[in-house]
Amino acid sequence: MWQLRERAHPILTDQGGAILDEHTGRWTQLTPTAAAAVMLLLSCPTEQQAADRFAQRYGIGAEQAATDIRAVASNLMAKGLAHDGQSPARRRRWRWWR
């Protein structure tokens, strides 16, 4: 199941959105369709179900919807803001005394 990391804080609307990475303090801006994709990814148990609902919402083909959903999910995972639940990458955290 796809999900945002604990340190990622989304602000999602139908007009777009943003995700704050509290670790870096940087915002990732989202277009309206990317924000909708994130909302669907968070609310659906599988990426395929999110793609099906995305296709219905925007009236596009299932293949195009799956490609769009995968692109948004992959982009956010590459930025370290999300993981697919399989094996979230563990980052070594340095303590203040090191």
Domain that holds residue 33: 3-82
Residue 90: inside a domain: no
Residue 96: inside a domain: no
Band (14; pLDDT cuts 50, 70, 90)? confident
Domains in the chain, number: 1
CATH number at residue 50: 1.10.10
Say yes or no to pLDDT of 91 above 70.
Answer: no
Tokens of 14: 């139908």
Listed in sequence order, the residues at least 6 apart from 73 whose beta carbon sits closer than 8 Å to its beta carbon are 2, 37, 41, 47, 82, 84
Residue 17: inside a domain: yes
The whole-number pLDDT of residue 1 equals: 81
Supply the pTM of this predicted model.
Answer: 0.83
Residue 19: inside a domain: yes
pLDDT tens track for 29-74: 999 999 999 999 999 999 999 999 999 999 999 999 999 999 999 9
Residue 91: inside a domain: no
Residue 93: inside a domain: no
Residue 27: inside a domain: yes
- Which three-class secondary structure state does DSSP give residue 93? coil
